[in-house]
Chain A
Amino acid sequence: DTGVSQNPRHKITKRGQNVTFRCDPISEHNRLYWYRQTLGQGPEFLTYFQNEAQLEKSRLLSDRFSAERPKGSFSTLEIQRTEQGDSAMYLCASRSGRGRGNTIYFGEGSWLTVV
């Protein structure tokens, strides 16, 4: 399967701990997105990369959140000093930058529960 892959799928952590999620996009896609989704809501945009450059960040992305895509391939999303309000599903998506490739494909998501 060459779709968008996310790890871990589930993470339970104590408040105050740091967590890191990884996303492996579709191999030829140079655009990568992170979204957050809480129960009963649609996904909310967090940040966007084109290759290794982080071009956009939402106001939702507080100082405790940092995302990287060091070689323009996989990406990590780290949350420091987690709070209960960070409990959500974190979705990664990728998109080709070529031609008519404007379709965004999502991974299965990483569930975070902060206790």
Chain B
Amino acid sequence: GEDVEQSLFLSVREGDSSVINCTYTDSSSTYLYWYKQEPGAGLQLLTYIFSNMDMKQDQRLTVLLNKKDKHLSLRIADTQTGDSAIYFCAEIINNDMRFGAGTRLTVKP
């Protein structure tokens, strides 16, 4: 089974904010990542956060990390239809990157 857990689906209206949540289990993870995958394509790195940070903002993306609860979230502001995709949370442990099952974000016009 997966060590990284995500809810499978999220639906929002265009212009709203989207929040995708993730929990991970290994407190020794040094980096945590968010990837985006569009149909039939590989994984596109969106952003990552070091484990000694609580927050990272990059344009419309905000990552929040709660190490105590092993909880990671990705907020997308002003969500657009082009943001519709599957979003994967991942942690890196030693040399192995472990992924959640992905959250399918649907943006309705």
Q: Which residues of A contact B (CB under 8 A)?
A: 4, 6, 31, 33, 40-45, 48, 50, 55-56, 91, 93, 102-109, 111
24 contacts between A and B (CB under 8 A): A31-B95, A40-B101, A41-B102, A42-B99, A42-B100, A42-B102, A43-B88, A48-B95, A48-B96, A50-B95, A56-B95, A91-B42, A91-B43, A93-B97, A103-B33, A103-B45, A103-B48, A104-B33, A104-B45, A105-B45, A106-B42, A106-B43, A106-B45, A108-B42
> Which residues of chain B are near A50, meaning CB under 8 Å?
95
- Of A41, A44, A107, the residue contacting B42 (CB under 8 A) is A107
> Which residues of chain B are near A4, meaning CB under 8 Å?
42
A43, B99: Cβ atoms closer than 8 Å: yes
A45, B96: Cβ atoms closer than 8 Å: yes
Is B67 in contact with chain A by the CB < 8 A criterion? no
Q: What does DSSP make chain B's interface, helix, strand, loop or mixed?
A: strand
Central interface residue in B48, B95, B99, by most chain A CB within 10 Å: B95
State A107–B99 Cα separation when bound (angstroms).
16
> Which residues of chain A are near B97, meaning CB under 8 Å?
33, 43, 45, 93, 104
B101, A42: Cβ atoms closer than 8 Å: yes
State A40–B102 Cα separation when bound (angstroms).
8
B43, A102: Cβ atoms closer than 8 Å: no
Is B92 in contact with chain A by the CB < 8 A criterion? yes
